[in-house]
């Protein structure tokens, strides 16, 4: 495989480097807004006299909308372009963030926290934009920088927002902290519209022929695609169950059943939409040069299920794991010890993309998922007899493989089918959230050691599935609106 050309991240005169920086920062801000509530929950709990169940409900609501949102945003970005979509998302999230900050009841907090889950789909937009600007030899490391540095927004929120709330002072300090970050996101959304461009000058922005679902090119792939939609609806049904009297008691059992019925209806509508998009392809056939294998998308989905899905789950439980495993440490110390997992994003995800560019997509992804499986196997053996430093080192080593694997997944996503990159990224991203819901549900039934073993075992299965991933070679074919055939290098 050809070697990736060097990338100078300080060459701001290079349009693609400038685009990378303004895009990862947009993603960074979207994650700051998305995770803004977590470090401020202690202030909200006091202000609204929230119960533990109500606090847990807010945390669940924060991820509930993100699963369908990533699918929807993937469709929107492919149709309207990243520039308009990201600008609109940031401006809308600004208004919702203000509404959340000004809430006067728990019901309002819950509603606006649920709506803010939509901003978690911002990640999908930049995947398409960065993929448009960087050649195949650099797209892995570029997507890794975008994902890793942007993902750090959740850690930045945890580090800065409580201090900002305390600095402002008073009972409403947390409200002003939220409004400040909401205002910054809105202003940056306007700046992004001014500064960003969908493609380099002279390049074509390819759009799907129809909106509403991925285009597939065979009956086998059509049924496979329908099957891959089912876990996302199951995850949403599980979230509804967690918010029912069986979980945090946000709404009644009848309301849960109502949501399940609604999800079933939406699934039927989704199936009809997918058929409408693909009816012509399946009945009249597709030119050989435009065919692609949906299996590629499915493997990337389950790879992100175990990488980002396990990260979401582990970041949620790790502070409590340290607190309950090691005697004599405070909640603050446990949080600091656990923060090393998220901090690895800054270097691990770009490294995963870089190594994928240099040594091959499939090989790199298999190495990272294999390392992830061994890493969680190691974590399953941590107990009170371990030195705390050893447990932290083991955690950070495991997190390197987790986040490098995420980088390797999205080093591949833009090389499957250019005009559907947003939708492919959206589906993979949604599967990451499905993974988080799945693993946290498992944790609610088992102890910590078994929880880590379940992740390790699932990673081992997915490791073998990745063997069937095809290494991108040659050119990707796209047909422009005028019928012109374009060849895009993917090697």
pLDDT confidence bin for 191, thresholds 50/70/90: very high
- In this prediction, residue 248 carries a pLDDT of 82
Is residue 491 scored above 70 in pLDDT?
no
**Element spanning 381, H or E:** none
Portion of the chain with pLDDT greater than 70, in percent: 95
Rounded to an integer, the average pLDDT of 294-302 is: 95
Q: Among the listed ranges 50-54, 278-282, 287-291, 363-367, which one has the minimum average pLDDT value?
A: 287-291
CA separation for the pair 452, 357 (Å, rounded): 30
Taking a C-beta distance cutoff of 8 angstroms, is the pair 372, 403 a contact?
Answer: no
- In this prediction, residue 159 carries a pLDDT of 79
Backbone φ/ψ region at 81: left (φ over 0), alpha (ψ -120 to 50), beta: left
Q: Among the listed ranges 113-122, 151-160, 185-194, 366-375, which one has the minimum average pLDDT value?
A: 151-160
Rounded to an integer, the average pLDDT of 16-45 is: 91
Is residue 176 scored above 70 in pLDDT?
yes
Rounded to an integer, the average pLDDT of 282-308 is: 89
Alpha helices for 196-293 (secondary structure H): 219-242, 253-284
Alpha-carbon dihedral angle through residues 236, 208, 191, 61, given to the nearest 10 degrees:
0
CATH superfamily placement of domain 208-491: MFS general substrate transporter like domains (1.20.1250.20)
The alpha carbon of 407 is separated from its chain's Cα centroid by a whole number of angstroms, namely 11
At 307-363, the pLDDT tens digits run: 999 998 888 888 888 888 888 887 778 877 877 787 788 889 999 999 998 888 899
DSSP letter for each residue of 293-308? -HHHHHHHHHHHHHHH
Q: Among the listed ranges 11-15, 161-165, 476-480, which one has the minimum average pLDDT value?
A: 476-480
Is residue 479 scored above 80 in pLDDT?
no
What percent helix, strand, coil does the chain show, rounded to 5? 75, 0, 20
| Of 399 and 336, the one with more pLDDT | 399
Average pLDDT, whole number, for the chain?
A: 89
- In this prediction, residue 174 carries a pLDDT of 92
- In this prediction, residue 154 carries a pLDDT of 82
- In this prediction, residue 196 carries a pLDDT of 93
Query: Which of 115, 110, 111 shows the shortest CA–CA distance to 57?
Result: 110
**How would you classify the pairing of strands 475-479 and 485-489?**
antiparallel
Architecture of the structural domain at 9-205: Up-down Bundle (1.20)
pLDDT confidence bin for 33, thresholds 50/70/90: very high
Q: Among the listed ranges 16-30, 154-168, 249-263, 445-459, which one has the minimum average pLDDT value?
A: 154-168
CB atoms within 10 A of CB 223: 12
- In this prediction, residue 1 carries a pLDDT of 41
CA separation for the pair 479, 206 (Å, rounded): 8
Is residue 441 scored above 50 in pLDDT?
yes
For tokens 């089918």, name the residue.
417
Rounded to an integer, the average pLDDT of 134-154 is: 89
Is residue 482 scored above 60 in pLDDT?
no
Query: Buried (b) or exposed (e) across 362-394, using 16+ Cβ within 10 A?
Result: bbbbbbbbbbbbbbbbbbbebeeeeebeebbeb
CA separation for the pair 239, 246 (Å, rounded): 11
CA separation for the pair 316, 158 (Å, rounded): 13
CA separation for the pair 434, 348 (Å, rounded): 22
| Structure tokens that stand for 45 in this block | 């709990």
Portion of the chain with pLDDT greater than 90, in percent: 56
- In this prediction, residue 328 carries a pLDDT of 81
- In this prediction, residue 476 carries a pLDDT of 65
3-state secondary structure 47-81: HHCCCHHHHHHHHHHHHHCHHHHHHHHHHHHHHHC
Q: Do the domains spanning 9-205 and 208-491 agree at the CATH topology level? A: yes
Domain coordinates in residue numbering, the chain: 9-205, 208-491
For tokens 């986040």, name the residue.
403
At 445-475, the pLDDT tens digits run: 899 999 999 999 999 999 999 999 988 776 6
Is residue 118 scored above 80 in pLDDT?
yes
Is residue 5 scored above 70 in pLDDT?
no
- Residue 292: exposed, middle, or buried by beta-carbon count in 10 A (0-12, 13-18, 19+)? buried
- In this prediction, residue 4 carries a pLDDT of 47
At 65-112, the pLDDT tens digits run: 899 999 999 999 999 999 999 999 999 999 999 999 999 999 999 999
């Amino acid at each position: 495989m050809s070697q990736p050309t060097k990338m100078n991240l300080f060459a701001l005169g290079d349009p693609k480097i400038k685009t990378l920086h303004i895009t990862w920062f947009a993603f960074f801000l979207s994650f700051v807004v998305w995770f803004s509530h977590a470090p401020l929950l202690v202030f909200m709990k006091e202000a609204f006299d929230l119960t533990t169940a109500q606090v847990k409900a807010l945390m669940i609501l924060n991820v509930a909308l993100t699963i369908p949102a990533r699918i929807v945003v993937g469709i929107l970005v492919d149709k309207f372009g990243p520039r308009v979509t990201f600008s609109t998302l940031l401006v809308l999230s600004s208004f919702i963030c203000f509404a959340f900050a000004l809430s006067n009841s728990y019901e309002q907090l819950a509603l606006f926290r649920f709506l803010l889950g939509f901003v978690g789909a911002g990640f999908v937009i930049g995947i398409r934009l960065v993929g448009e600007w960087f050649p195949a030899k650099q797209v892995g490391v570029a997507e890794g920088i975008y994902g890793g540095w942007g993902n750090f927004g959740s850690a930045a929120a945890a580090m800065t927002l409580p201090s900002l709330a305390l600095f402002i002072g008073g009972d409403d300090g947390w409200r002003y902290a939220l409004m400040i970050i909401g205002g910054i996101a809105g202003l940056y959304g306007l700046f992004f519209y001014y500064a960003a461009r969908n493609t380099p000058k002279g390049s074509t922005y390819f759009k799907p022929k129809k909106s509403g679902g991925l285009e597939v090119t065979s009956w086998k792939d059509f049924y496979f695609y329908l099957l891959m939609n089912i876990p996302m609806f199951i995850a949403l049904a599980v979230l509804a169950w967690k918010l029912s009297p069986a979980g945090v008691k946000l709404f009644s059992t009848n309301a849960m059943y109502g949501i399940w019925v609604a999800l079933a209806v939406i699934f039927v509508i989704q199936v009809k939409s997918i058929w409408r998009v693909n009816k012509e392809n399946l009945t009249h056939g597709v030119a050989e040069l435009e065919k692609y294998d949906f299996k590629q998308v499915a493997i990337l989905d389950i790879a992100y299920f175990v990488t980002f899905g396990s990260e979401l789950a582990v970041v949620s439980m790790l502070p409590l794991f340290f607190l309950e495993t090691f005697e004599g440490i405070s909640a603050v110390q446990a949080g600091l010890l656990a923060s090393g997992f998220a901090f690895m994003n800054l270097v691990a995800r770009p490294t995963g993309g870089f190594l994928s560019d240099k040594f091959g997509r499939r090989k790199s992804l298999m190495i990272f998922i294999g390392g992830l499986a061994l890493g969680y196997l190691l974590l399953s053996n941590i107990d009170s007899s371990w030195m705390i430093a050893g447990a932290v080192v083991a955690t950070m080593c495991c997190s390197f493989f987790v986040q490098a694997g995420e980088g390797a997944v999205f080093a591949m996503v833009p090389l499957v089918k250019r005009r559907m990159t947003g939708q492919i990224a959206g589906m993979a991203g949604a599967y990451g959230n499905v993974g988080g819901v799945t693993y946290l549900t498992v944790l609610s039934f088992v102890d910590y050691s078994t929880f880590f073993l379940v992740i390790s075992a699932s990673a081992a299965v997915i490791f073998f599935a990745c063997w069937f991933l095809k290494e991108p070679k040659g050119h990707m074919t796209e047909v422009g609106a005028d019928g012109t055939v374009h060849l895009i290098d993917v090697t």
